[in-house]
Chain A
């Protein structure tokens, strides 16, 4: 009994092109897909046969677009960008990543120049760019908060801006001692929607605008990365949504803005947003913004460890399971009367996690306290009074 080889196809960095570079079988493959966002994260190991090959990965493939395949050659099970590469060689781990890279920097500061503006106004430095880095990886912006600038002079915020840009315009590297398995390259991957976290949106308006119009007419066209990572001019997957919203004041990332817009919902249902997989006909990805899909697509049984099945009981491969669907556990609460209240056997799947080694896919619904901390870190609007971190302890009476 076998599972199909999982493999990764690596292509050019999206800013540079779309040519194929290489294909490798992968080990220890895992991925996460979320209803809000789409392809979220993935990781895998590649067994390299030499120091040279490992160093090639460090040197050449950060930021490249990837597609991961299992048994279906026509449809990848996950796609995104290489965000971090770790090469273990003997006792040393070399890591290079995009997380700390910033090739566009601005600094905000509170201006208190008595002679000019009075207290309490906010200013932003002009934008500083490293166009060489942007020409390779796309725009990745950071906005620093200088804080209170007593003399109102922009010199200090500008200096901070320029220092950050000078040191972080290119991917950052690190070396640690005491690495893991030798000659394994670990790839940590991020989904395309994370590139919406790479730019901040400055939109100030007192007008009220429908959410979908705001996204299509104002927000997406202003994206500095344009069509680099997805087609920001294709609005075919953006549903009409009449809820009015006002513009934001302080800078947020594009993803925070879109996520908050989706979280507004429609007073009855959740709405979600994210980036679609690459359309095999058009060859492009687009932003989706739509009501959640409440249809039951999957069933599961407690007696076999909740392995995912279709509506008719057929087992389906765990790597094909997708969120934004509902799963129904069919062998609990048999005889439950669904007319009384919401059926507790049904769960809307917000997130799925797939692990190739165990061939398990775990899914999370709305009320999973173990994921509460992670969720709140990812939400646009956070509840007042909740804690981050571990589950709240229940004490006996």
Chain B
């Protein structure tokens, strides 16, 4: 007996109703069983079917010049998989045999017409459960079929029989749930419990793969920096994301009405050191409190009940008076107490400043950020966008009415070098710097005022990663709807692979109201820890509410190129 055989192999058309759902509008799926003797279709015992692995589309895109040896791969995407099945179709009569053959033709037409009009909205997918040897049974896995070609050869036999070659073009990867299934079903497979209609709520409860809360500020409990009081990220453990292909996800955020959110994913670990705890490695966050920075020209600290806590456990803002109104460096990150070691970061990050102009008109003050090594002159470093801070209603008072200002994109490492060089230092390291203290990266905020008397108030500098997957979700209705949702599992699109966003009218009811997204969307990298960083803001005026806490619910559908590497009893 071969180590690999097929315990189940079916072509299925439709989204299966959830067990116990008596109100479903889904019809039972149409199933063509390819290995059941009673179905009339049997895989050829020798050349039946073996799954293929996707190959690179068109060989990839390369940078190739005759001036250099070799060539560089720029882009490589995996394409659809084409596989061939050889089946024997038979029947008790010619009519019975033709009915079976025609069911295959119908499947092919359904696969080609899926979502090409509003009539055929049922996904057609391959359902496979491998087995092998005596004791091994694999998990069920599914792949959406885009096209089928069926070539029959009418066999010369006494009983009605057709030898058919079925060529299938399917999506590149295997999904561990059927097309169009609720991603919460995976959670119940994950915990080896039965899935039924009482468990389908994607927006409430704790029975989800990941639940958590993030804050739109980030504050440490004290100046030892060993624990975060609030954090703008959630963590998905490596063990929660099986498979070998990026997992699709369903994300629900308990945001308030009118809130937009920026989300970025990062898998590379970010760490830094703290001198106050003897060079202990502390958890990285990507927010630098302005009051912990190094003050520049005309910059002072002022108490502000609407500011986030700094490392001295005090709520303070940085205030720039513009006594010298020309372009001057006003604030430098990291300061003595800041913990972001920028030179440890890898990737591209959106840079945001939460700030406001206290009075006057937008345009009175201009500001920009430079980043690099040892920024002493105005031309040093890499300069980001020149922007004008808004003048929100908060004015000069203690108020959480900060505005979110997009400053540009910072990219790390700055140069070509990629390694974190160990200089062999054994002495304690200043907080916020690398072991090689001469190579610390700085962010410097420059600002000038051309007219008026407005001051610049600054709360913090925020980085959001964008290169591993990112997006913003913006509700179209900015006043009455909250609770943003993102789904790329195909659940909300009835099996069609697509990104959708919406905001729900109320908890527990995922009714779709209009929202839209920008950016490429997010999938989770398997077998590594994934962190999602969030930043919420008011869509209408870019304002931030200090300390706003948002609950998060996350479910996934794992995927793989070949066999599933995890079997569930319930799966």
A22 to B517, CA, bound (A): 9
Interface segment out of the listed A114-122, A255-263, A297-305: A297-305
A-B contact pairs, 19 of them (CB 8 A): A1-B74, A3-B75, A9-B518, A22-B516, A50-B116, A73-B350, A73-B472, A74-B350, A74-B466, A279-B387, A281-B390, A281-B406, A282-B362, A303-B65, A309-B416, A310-B411, A313-B415, A316-B411, A359-B75
A72-B409, A320-B409 known; A23 vs B517 contact (CB < 8 Å): yes
A7-B520, A50-B116, A71-B470 known; A303 vs B363 contact (CB < 8 Å): no
A: interface residue count bin: 35 or more
1/0 per position for B58-93, CB-CB distance to A under 8 A?
Answer: 001101110110001111110000000000000000
A70-B520, A72-B350 known; A305 vs B117 contact (CB < 8 Å): no
Enumerate the 8 nearest inter-chain pairs by beta-carbon distance, A residue then B residue, closest first: A73-B519, A312-B415, A313-B416, A4-B520, A5-B520, A73-B518, A73-B472, A20-B516
1/0 per position for B406-444, CB-CB distance to A under 8 A?
Answer: 101101011110000000000000000000000000000
Which residues in B have their C-beta under 8 angstroms from that of A357? Answer: 61
A69-B520, A281-B390 known; A311 vs B72 contact (CB < 8 Å): no
Is A290 on the interface with B (CB-CB < 8 A)? no
* Contact of A71 with B516 in the complex, beta carbons under 8 Å: no
A305 to B363, CA, bound (A): 41
A138 to B471, CA, bound (A): 32
Interface of A is mostly: loop
* Contact of B382 with A73 in the complex, beta carbons under 8 Å: no
A280-B406, A281-B362, A314-B413 known; A305 vs B63 contact (CB < 8 Å): yes
Which of chain B's residues has its CB closest to A67's CB?
Answer: B518
* Contact of B517 with A312 in the complex, beta carbons under 8 Å: no
Task: Give residues in A with beta carbon < 8 Å to B.
Answer: 1-5, 7, 9, 19-20, 22-23, 49-50, 52, 67, 69-76, 236, 279-282, 302-305, 307, 309-317, 320, 357-359
Which residues in A have their C-beta under 8 angstroms from that of B474? Answer: 20
* Contact of A20 with B476 in the complex, beta carbons under 8 Å: yes
Task: Taking A71-B466, A71-B470, A279-B388 as given, write out 9 further A-B residue pairs in contact, using a Cβ cutoff of 8 Å, ordered by the A residue number.
Answer: A23-B517, A49-B115, A49-B116, A71-B467, A236-B363, A281-B388, A282-B388, A310-B414, A313-B416
Instruction: Give the number of residues in B that approach A within 8 Å (Cβ atoms).
Output: 53
Which residues in A have their C-beta under 8 angstroms from that of B388? Answer: 279, 281-282
Which residues in B have their C-beta under 8 angstroms from that of A75? Answer: 406, 408-409
Is B389 on the interface with A (CB-CB < 8 A)? yes
A78 to B406, CA, bound (A): 17
Which residues in A have their C-beta under 8 angstroms from that of B519? Answer: 4, 7, 69, 71-73
Is B521 on the interface with A (CB-CB < 8 A)? yes
* Contact of A73 with B471 in the complex, beta carbons under 8 Å: yes
A334 CB to nearest chain B CB (Å): 14
Which of chain A's residues has its CB closest to B517's CB?
Answer: A23
Is B31 on the interface with A (CB-CB < 8 A)? no
Is B542 on the interface with A (CB-CB < 8 A)? yes
* Contact of B521 with A5 in the complex, beta carbons under 8 Å: yes
Which residues in A have their C-beta under 8 angstroms from that of B389? Answer: 281
B256 CB to nearest chain A CB (Å): 20
* Contact of B414 with A312 in the complex, beta carbons under 8 Å: yes
Contact pick for A71, options B75, B115, B520, CB 8 Å: B520
* Contact of B466 with A72 in the complex, beta carbons under 8 Å: yes
Is B6 on the interface with A (CB-CB < 8 A)? no
A7 to B77, CA, bound (A): 17
A49 to B411, CA, bound (A): 38
* Contact of B68 with A281 in the complex, beta carbons under 8 Å: no
Which residues in A have their C-beta under 8 angstroms from that of B63? Answer: 304-305, 307
Is B181 on the interface with A (CB-CB < 8 A)? no
Which residues in B have their C-beta under 8 angstroms from that of A313? Answer: 415-416
Is B484 on the interface with A (CB-CB < 8 A)? no
Is B253 on the interface with A (CB-CB < 8 A)? no
B360 CB to nearest chain A CB (Å): 14
Is B348 on the interface with A (CB-CB < 8 A)? yes
